[in-house]
Amino acid sequence: MATVKELLVGSLKELVEAELKEFHWRLMNTSHNHISKSEMEKADIFDTVDKMVVCFGPEEAVKVMLDILRKMNQNDLAEQLENKNKQAQAEGNMKTSVTVGELKNVLKTHKNNMKRKAKYIFEGNKENDTNLKAVYTELFITEGDMEDVNHEHEILKIDGVFTNKKKHNKPIKCNDIFTELRKNNEERIVLTKGVAGIGKTVSVHKFILDWAEGNTNQDIECVFLLPFRDINVIKDREIDLHEFLLKFYPEFKDLKKSKLYKECKLAFIFDGLDESRLPLNFKSETLDTVEERASVDVLFTSLVKGKLLPSSLVWVTSRPAAANEIPSRYVGLFTEVRGFTDQQKEEYFRKRIKDETQASRIISHIKTSRSLYIMCHIPVFCWITATVLQDILTGKNAENISITLTEMYIHFLIIQMNRKSQKYDEQEEKERTKHLELNKEMILKIAKLAFEQLKKENIVFYEEDLRESGIDVSKDTEFTGMVAEIFKMEDGLYKTKVFCFVHLSVQEFLAAVHVFVCYLNKNWQVLQFFFEDLQTIALQKLKIFFRIIKFHDLTKGATNKAIQSQRGYLDLFLRFLMGISLDSSQNLLKGLITHTEDTTESIRQTTKYIKKVQNKNIRDEALVNLFYCLLELKDYSLYEEMKGYLSSDVHPGRKLSSSMCTVLTYVLMMSEKVLDEFNPKRFTSSSSNYTKLIPAVRCCRRALFDSCGFDETCCETLSIALQSSNSYLTELDLSSNHLKDSGVKLIYDGLKSPHCRLNILRFGIHIH
């Protein structure tokens, strides 16, 4: 526009005073009558040009001036203006063409770079990353809402049995999240939650790979993947958005930012909010332009608020515990990654294990252990399970093996100790012990790191964190061999090393190893974490106390600590700590621990205490975890008691508590028993307890839920059960419940599934 003004001013300068007055008169009194007489009375050349450009626009202003000049017989002047304008337009078009070409080339380079980044995923060994397409199995992702997100406990999510949603959540493919966002007429962000290892990052990689290959989301011209674990490295700096992105994507360094941010459809993917160490404050200042400098925290919150680049798309992933860090008013679409369905579990194992016979054998074995099979809805746990069972099931005693969760992880640790000889027969016992001894110092350091960071609820670590645990990051050889598939090391910004365990459960397992070793060595400084009532005891008396402490004292303190946690960050740790105490586990860990200890009496005392706690008024989630702790201790008494409730034709004599109803459902889901009839009124008379028993319908042929006080909020779990590939339900009685049209619609969605076996469905009118 400035060039047009200069041309117009240059032409008017050629007119004498009388000619300029005539120009003003014609401008006001001919067909170009948009400018009034009062505006022209005292206007000089520059005022005239400014008013013309404002009134007509730059291109039309040139045409108006050419028209008036020709009417004034200023043909030479008109010709000069026309020629100069054409030349200026040609130069501008050429410059624009060059800029567009540069932008196109940079975007192409960026797309290729993103394709290379997304093509491979870490699956144990960085030197042998796995091709995403070779193992990718579609995940079960649903649309949801943010109600009660900050009250969620991860243990039920990890075990994958209960949905407990207040409304129907429709499935969504990861490639369609922005499409769904726009369907909702929202211009805010997508927030995706899911427990550790459930597949959030893999979903992000799949989205990017499909986009980079030109298959989906081609309306988006540029995608930026921004992991929080890397953002943490630059969290203390003040920079503008362009400078921030250049830290991750230097290919944009020579490109004028005005073109990128004004003319391109951008998508920002912030992965792993739970790993963030930013002091998120959504009440702080907000940036409006990409030129403004601020902290990384402010850059992020400004994008989320939609104030900075309001037309861009933003996707944030997080574990449930951190999802509430973003206020719900900024979330346009809330989704949850729920992992693998039963069908997807089998699909994953068949992709992961190329030998069809071995894959079928492993799938069959996993199904015999329902607790392991349920946990396999987590993709990373599928990988750990496949790694261990591929090794174990090729041994001589594979047919008779019975393995707890703790034993699974001990085997996983041993496999990494002894990669060249991964056979578990009795003749190689000495070889396994030798490898544990050789790596003992390093394992114990990493186990200490696991526990110290678990206490802080950190799942990503940096060099200073490792140094605190006595790990010398300069010695790269310490991070090869056995740690390659347990400990993941990445080169972040400026080649800063970022560390994490391949899965949160591996960190929790090693943390339990550390605590058990500290118990054997009577390291009171570590054990004191579990005894809050000892804070006031004198140091000398404290040392004496921990010299005589028994293992059941430790498990009692650890149990109380885990129950107090609202988010369950110590739950799996507690399971592993219990499981490690068994003689079988201690024998597997020989070479790593200094000595074994007879824990028979402590285990008896521990199981007695757990059962005592179960009779108290504690949350369902805590009780379920204690139930699993009993299984890790190989105490099946509660399991058998619940089975007695299910198999007895006569009422056992007492109503089940709310928590025990949850356990009863777990027991039925874990067992392979299929009930001919399931009547919840045999176990309880509470409407709220009836809802806890809904998931059990897939494990029976006939379910009698008439007059149970159900409304439409109960129907999603029923619908999912009807759609389950391993459901046996053929008759369902829902009469005398107030399901409403929305509830009936959910049931209808379940009936449409090809897996639905239902033959008889009873509805009835609810009369108040």
Tell me the C-alpha distance between 464 and 613, whole Å. 39
Flag whether pLDDT at 234 surpasses 70.
yes
More confident residue, 539 or 191: 191
Angle at 710 between CA 704 and CA 712, to 5 degrees: 125
Task: Say how far residue 176 (Cα) sits from the centre of its chain.
Answer: 16
Instruction: Specify the pairing of strand 294-295 against strand 238-239.
Output: antiparallel
Range with top average pLDDT, 1-10, 54-63, 148-157, 405-414:
405-414
Retrieve residue 70's tokens: 């020709």
Identity of the residue numbered 349: F
Please compute the mean of the pLDDT values over residues 409-424 and round it to a whole number: 66
Please compute the mean of the pLDDT values over residues 542-555 and round it to a whole number: 78
pLDDT range class, residue 426, cuts 50, 70, 90: very low
Angle at 505 between CA 606 and CA 320, to 5 degrees: 105
Q: How many CA atoms lie within 13 A of 142 on its CB side?
A: 15
Please compute the mean of the pLDDT values over residues 671-688 and round it to a whole number: 85
Question: Three-state DSSP class for 283?
Answer: coil
Task: Give the pLDDT of residue 425.
Answer: 40
Contact between 578 and 635 under an 8 Å Cβ cutoff? The reply is no
H-run or E-run covering 390? helix 379-392
Tell me the C-alpha distance between 70 and 73, whole Å. 5
Q: Which domains does the chain have, with CATH numbers?
A: 2-92 (1.10.533.10), 113-123+131-339 (3.40.50.300), 674-762 (3.80.10.10)
Please compute the mean of the pLDDT values over residues 298-324 and round it to a whole number: 89
Tell me the C-alpha distance between 635 and 627, whole Å. 9
Task: Give the pLDDT of residue 115.
Answer: 93
Flag whether pLDDT at 302 surpasses 90.
yes
Task: Give the pLDDT of residue 524.
Answer: 81
Q: What is the DSSP letter of 680?
A: G
Q: Among 144-158, 332-346, 470-484, 604-618, name the one with the lowest average pLDDT.
A: 144-158
Q: Return all residues near 80 (Cβ < 8 A) that are at least 6 apart.
A: 11
Task: Give the pLDDT of residue 166.
Answer: 40
Flag whether pLDDT at 92 surpasses 80.
no
Task: Give the pLDDT of residue 225.
Answer: 95
- The region, left, alpha or beta by phi > 0 then psi within -120 to 50, assigned to residue 230 is alpha
What average pLDDT is seen over the chain? 81
Question: Three-state DSSP class for 316?
Answer: strand
Flag whether pLDDT at 197 surpasses 90.
no
Q: How many CA atoms lie within 13 A of 61 on its CB side?
A: 24
Please compute the mean of the pLDDT values over residues 383-392 and round it to a whole number: 84
pLDDT range class, residue 431, cuts 50, 70, 90: low
Task: Say how far residue 620 (Cα) sits from the centre of its chain.
Answer: 24
Range with top average pLDDT, 32-41, 115-124, 169-178:
169-178
Task: Give the pLDDT of residue 725.
Answer: 67
Flag whether pLDDT at 537 surpasses 60.
no
* 470-487 pLDDT tens trace: 888 776 445 544 454 577
Tell me the C-alpha distance between 146 and 157, whole Å. 15
Task: Give the pLDDT of residue 165.
Answer: 42
Please compute the mean of the pLDDT values over residues 85-109 and round it to a whole number: 72
Question: Three-state DSSP class for 555?
Answer: helix
Tell me the C-alpha distance between 609 and 733, whole Å. 40
Q: Among 6-15, 71-80, 510-519, 647-656, name the one with the lowest average pLDDT.
A: 647-656
Tell me the C-alpha distance between 120 and 125, whole Å. 12
Instruction: Specify the pairing of strand 487-491 against strand 731-733.
Output: unpaired
pLDDT range class, residue 148, cuts 50, 70, 90: very low
Flag whether pLDDT at 127 surpasses 80.
no
Flag whether pLDDT at 147 surpasses 70.
no
Angle at 527 between CA 558 and CA 159, to 5 degrees: 30
Task: Give the pLDDT of residue 47.
Answer: 86
Range with top average pLDDT, 45-49, 190-194, 357-361, 411-415:
190-194
Tell me the C-alpha distance between 66 and 82, whole Å. 7
More confident residue, 137 or 455: 455
* 753-768 pLDDT tens trace: 888 899 999 987 544 4
Task: Give the pLDDT of residue 480.
Answer: 46
Please compute the mean of the pLDDT values over residues 355-379 and round it to a whole number: 81
Please compute the mean of the pLDDT values over residues 691-708 and round it to a whole number: 90
Q: Token match 């508590």: residue?
A: 657
